[in-house]
Structure 1
Amino acid sequence: MSPARVTPQRNPLRDERDKRLPRIAGPCGIVMFGVTGDLARRKLMPAIYDLANRGLLPPGFSLVGFARRDWATQDFGDIVHDAVKAGARTPFREEVWKSLAEGFRFVPGSFDDDAAFDELARVVKELDEHRGTGGNHAFYLSIPPGFFGLVCEQLQRSGLAGGPSDSWRRVIIEKPFGHDLASAQELNKIVEGVFPADSVFRIDHYLGKETVQNLLALRFANSMFEPVWNRNYIDHVQITMAEDIGIGGRAGYYDGIGAARDVIQNHLLQLLALTAMEEPVSFEAHHLRAEKEKVLSSVRLPKDLGSATARGQYAEGWQGAEQVVGYLQEEGVKAGSTTETYAAVRLDVANARWAGVPFYLRTGKRLGKRVTEIALVFKTAPHLPFNDTATEELGQNAIVIRVQPDEGVTLRFGAKVPGATMEVRDVTMDFGYGRAFTETSPEAYERLILDVLLGDPPLFPRHEEVELSWQILDPIEKHWAGMKGGLDQYPAGTWGPAEADKLMRRDGREWRFP
């Protein structure tokens, strides 16, 4: 049965006038390890359907699930169907679904099962012959990093890591990329011992978000911003990722990892690099990575880590109208755990553009609201020709890039209050993606999966960036490990421990509360 023809929809992932890189994937398939996991169901499977629905996948695209389940291919198809129905961002179309489902296969087995991987190799070869995938396959390792090495060895042993000379094989790795510098280097050695460096795609889903990419457009496409994007005008930068949820059922992963390893090492340091980097020669992968690596190489830790870092753990409290338990009462958390659910740190970037401008990074769970933003807070005007009462309610100007959930950019500046007297107060000018564009913003995983299938790597950090990030975080983790006593507690629904506020007050500043 020939696949149903899918009518391509407008591609929001690249301007159609750009003819240099066609954005429709050629013949290919994905082999997904970890198909039973939460990420696969909530994000990956819906993203694959949305790509097909937009007409961005080839008619013969194939998806092979591999898991330790006694499923038939039909069972796997039902799982994908339910995930798509629950999480797809585009309308469900029966003809698209039928075309996509014809390429589904499922192989049961464990990661140490040679026979299962031999069967997987047979299925992949069959897909090349009957679905026209052309030997092009991406292996998505949506699994704990402790299994990366074993799966890569199995892919190499079974011949799956290499295909015909005119085809490609790529591997996609989810974070965390190790738990410190040494483990990251060992992990990289294992993976790149099987796949060439250019065929390894490390997923950081934040880099696929439209707003993160818009940061580059904001800086380098507008003459009004770049001239003030430096130490002469910027007082400090705050980068925040706040979550209003707890750890849910992730205690097995989260306990022992903590907020800094989970978020600061990857998401927030990547946002710092994009915010602080110089203009790249082009947006080709090697040019973009070079500028980010320069920034990460220039990051310096304060001498006194005790006063320049803060961490804490959420206690029971109220999240909106719901009373919630504290971290130590969460199911699966070890008694007396010292894993932090909140982490904040001050960093400095030692270069001519940013000398003397502190970057404050913070992340936490069970905070006041869910928000991720980058705020560049300006220095106060050198002279205010107003009396003191006229500017009592005037704060510092700011540019705020909202990454989620209300994607957009806010400018904060002073304006006169209507009336007979001169009174200046903060006002905001707001740009929101949902209001400015009729096109729906693609989900981050859509963009990233499509980029893997196209072999387009600018949004994927190489191992150099990963290792530089661990070089920044490792001394902080070592300092925390040597501290005596328990963690500061903060009630759920608040904005973190008191120590975090002290961190800012020592510098004469305060946190933004979005």
Structure 2
Amino acid sequence: MVSRVIPVDPFDLVVFGGTGDLARRKILPALFRRFCAGQMPETARIIGAARSDMSDASYTQMVADALREFSPGAQSHADRLRDFLGVISYVRIDAMGEAGWAELTQKITSVDRVEAYYFSVAPSLFGPLAERLQGHGLADRNARIVVEKPFGRDLETAKALNATLARYFDETQIYRIDHYLGKETVQNLMAVRFGNMLFEPLWNSQFVDHIQITVAETVGVGGRGEYYDRAGAMRDMVQNHLMQLLCLIAMEPPARFDPDAVRDEKLKVIRALEPVEPHHIVRGQYNADPDDADTYPDYRTAVGNPRSRTESFVALKTHIANWRWAGTPFYLRTGKRMRERSSEISIVFKETPHSIFAEDAGRHRNVLSIKLQPNEGITLGVTIKEPGPGGMRLIDVPLDMTFAEALGPDGGETVDAYERLIMDVIRGNQTLFMRGDEVEAAWDWTDPIIQGWTDRGDVPKPYDSLSDGPDASAQLLVRDKREWRKI
């Protein structure tokens, strides 16, 4: 089965911060892969914009080097690489002043083209960029802006940011990007839920025992220490990535698959989240690697703050106050320097109400596992008889629902999240992007949790590098006679 690629309309894409790490690692390689796939028209134009003093030729060389480093296969597509570099240009620009804006305006002169502006810059520059885009006549009806997280650091700053962007752009023109929502398996989750009669009737508290969402990383804070120590795992991961995954799992079926219908249902979930009790929260900081403390120091050393109380790990238990999920706990955890890199959603169904088998057959539960990384896929754990003689012994086996064999080698094409999301911006499809009221509702739930542990003076619990996190995290589930699924 060959994937069908539908070309998008001609567009101009300006990448503010076009020399930065995100542009080099993600944005430009994503555009190149879509160019090679035939989805990006050759009449498209990509304009890098940054403070660096560079010519078109030097910027093009930087892009070529980035693609060879971060886009596997670029070397073997020399002709396509040359053609792609032909649509690249550069403008030296001052986000806080007027330098470069006249030149940029001259480049964006065509009518009836989509105009997209990617803010791959610090949030403090979002407002000045939006203001100057409007001031130079670039915020017209064809314009769209792409905004990277963080979307504020609390409810107050999120509201201020939304209000600033709203002064210059309509909500339908603002694309708040969360790359987790661009993953193939996240969208497949919606297809499995709403495209099959099999699961939706069971998708409620009557049949689901609990739900776990885990995002574990083996890396530490790396070069993000200064930012991360101001944010922590709650702001950096839970308020956005894990919150969005929770919404897709828990939301009601939308009336139709369009942006506002989907986002309306997600918003209802966030507003129905119950406050988190202090004893249902575990925070941690990773210790140094005992075998190589120089390369992998402890969290406080890594961020340069020996008295830091910022969490590199957080686990919590929450509930959703509605008819569908009343009584079903949701367990969320995320952390750095964990044992394995893994992002997984697990829907753990209840045991059968009565077992007809002997006690030695054991108790078994079906688990629907949605794996987001490192290997995307969906599996359903089913209980079967263990093969062979010797009585009725039950075992759990995975039923693979990634359908790689059924779709064939071409149908299983892996598309990076940024590829899909950037093309959605060009198409004007906001389904996989957060709306302003979603962001504010998420902060409205998150802020009291952070304020609570700040007021209590809670100190994060230490945990070993490359472990499953603090021991108290396991106890969070043990108290409920449950356990975390293995990372």
Task: Tell me if 1:402 matches 2:375.
Answer: no
Alignment CA distance shift 1:390-1:454 (3 Å): closer
> Which range moves more in the overlay, 478-487 or 443-452?
478-487
Aligned length: 482
1:221 CA drift (Å) = 1.5
CA shift at 1:433, angstroms? 5.7
Matched with 1:481 is 454
Q: Aligned match of 1:267 in 222, 241, 256?
A: 241
Give CA-to-partner distance per residue, 1:353-406, whole Å, 9 cap, x none.
110001111111111111111101111221112332231xx4432111111111
Give the deviation of 1:196 after TM superposition: 1.1
State how far apart, in whole Å, the 1-side matches of 2:147 and 2:454 are: 28
Residue aligning to 1:55: 38
In structure 1, C-alpha distance between the alignment counterparts of 2:405 and 2:69, rounded to whole Å: 25
- Does residue 286 (structure 1) correspond to residue 260 (structure 2)? The answer is yes
The residue number in structure 1 matching 2:304 is: 333
> 2 CA distance for matches of 1:436 and 1:207?
25
Separation of aligned partners in 2, 1:222 and 1:161: 42
SS in 2 for 1:352: coil
* Distance in 1 of aligned mates of 2:181 and 2:4: 16
Alignment of 1:245 onto 2:203: no
Quote the residue 1:347 is aligned against: 318
- Give the 3-state SS of the residue equivalent to 1:76 in structure 2: helix
Asked if residue 254 in structure 1 is aligned to residue 228 in structure 2, the reply is: yes
Question: How far, CA to CA, are the matches of 2:395 and 2:316 in structure 1?
Answer: 31
Structure 1 pair 322–56 and aligned structure 2 pair: CA distance change class (3 A): farther
- What's the secondary structure of 1:287's corresponding residue? helix
TM-superposed deviation, 1:95: 3.1
Is the alpha carbon distance of 1:320 and 1:47 closer, same or farther for their aligned partners in structure 2, counting shifts above 3 Å? farther
The Cα of 1:426 is off from its aligned counterpart by 2.5
Cα distance in 2, alignment partners of residues 235 and 323 from structure 1: 42
Structure 2 residue corresponding to 1:85, chosen from 68, 73, 87: 68
Please, which of 43, 49, 52 is the counterpart of residue 69 of structure 1? 52
**Correspondence 1:308 to 2:273:** no
| Residue correspondence of structure 1 range 192-271 to structure 2 within 5 A | 192-271=166-245
Give the TM-score taking structure 2 as reference length: 0.94
Separation of aligned partners in 1, 2:210 and 2:288: 33
The separation in 2 between residues aligned to 1:326 and 1:489, in whole angstroms, is 9
Query: TM-score, length-normalised on structure 1?
Result: 0.89
**Superposition pairs of residues 310-389 of structure 1, within 5 angstroms:** 310-317=282-289, 324-330=296-302, 332-389=303-360
> Shift in Å at residue 435 of structure 1?
4.7
Alignment gaps of 5+ in structure 1:
1-8, 14-22
- Once structures 1 and 2 are overlaid, which stretch shifts more, 88-97 or 234-243? 88-97
The one of 100, 105, 113 aligned to 2:89: 105
Q: Are positions 1:427 and 2:432 aligned together? A: no
Confirm or deny: 8 A CA contact 2:96 2:125 kept in the other structure.
no
Aligned residue number for residue 442 of structure 1: 415
Task: Point out where structure 2 has 5 or more consecutive residues left out of the alignment.
Answer: none
Deviation at 1:218, TM superposition (A): 0.7
Match of 1:120 among 104, 107, 119: 104
> Quick check: 2:207–2:350 contact (8 Å CA) kept in 1?
yes
| Aligned counterpart, 1:3 | none
Q: 1:217-274 CA distances to partner (integer Å, 9 max, x unpaired)?
A: 1111222211211111100000111111111111132111011111111111111111
> How far apart in 1 are the matches of 2:405 and 2:3?
19
Q: Does 1:472 align with 2:445?
A: yes
Match of 1:96 in 2: 80
The correspondence of residues 13-28 of structure 1 with structure 2, limited to 5 A, is 23-28=6-11
Q: CA deviation at 1:319?
A: 8.9
What is the rounded CA distance, in whole Å, between the counterparts of 1:318 and 1:384 in structure 2? 47
Distance 2:432 2:11 in 1: 20
Q: Is 1:150 equivalent to 2:128 in the alignment?
A: yes
Letter in 2 for 1:458: T
Distance in 1, Cα, partners of 2:243 & 2:391: 45
The alignment partner of 1:349 has SS state of: coil
| Secondary structure in 2 matching 1:95 | helix
Q: CA RMSD in A?
A: 2.1
Q: 1:234 to 1:371 in 2, by over 3 A?
A: same
Q: Take 2:198 and 2:458, find their aligned partners in 1: how far apart are those partners? A: 49
SS in 2 for 1:317: coil
Question: Which stretches of structure 1, 4 residues or more, deviate above 4 A after TM superposition?
Answer: 9-13, 89-92, 318-323, 433-436
SS in 1 for 2:442: helix
Aligned to 2:475: 502
Cα displacement (A) at 1:90? 5.8
Counterpart of 1:141 in structure 2 is 119
**Gap change, CA 1:52 and 1:11, over 3 Å in 2:** farther
Structure 1 pair 322–433 and aligned structure 2 pair: CA distance change class (3 A): farther
1:256 is paired with a residue whose SS is helix
Q: Is the 8 A contact 1:285 1:458 kept in 2?
A: yes
Equivalent residue number for residue 251 of structure 2: 277
Using the alignment, how far apart are the partners of 2:378 and 2:291 within structure 1? 27
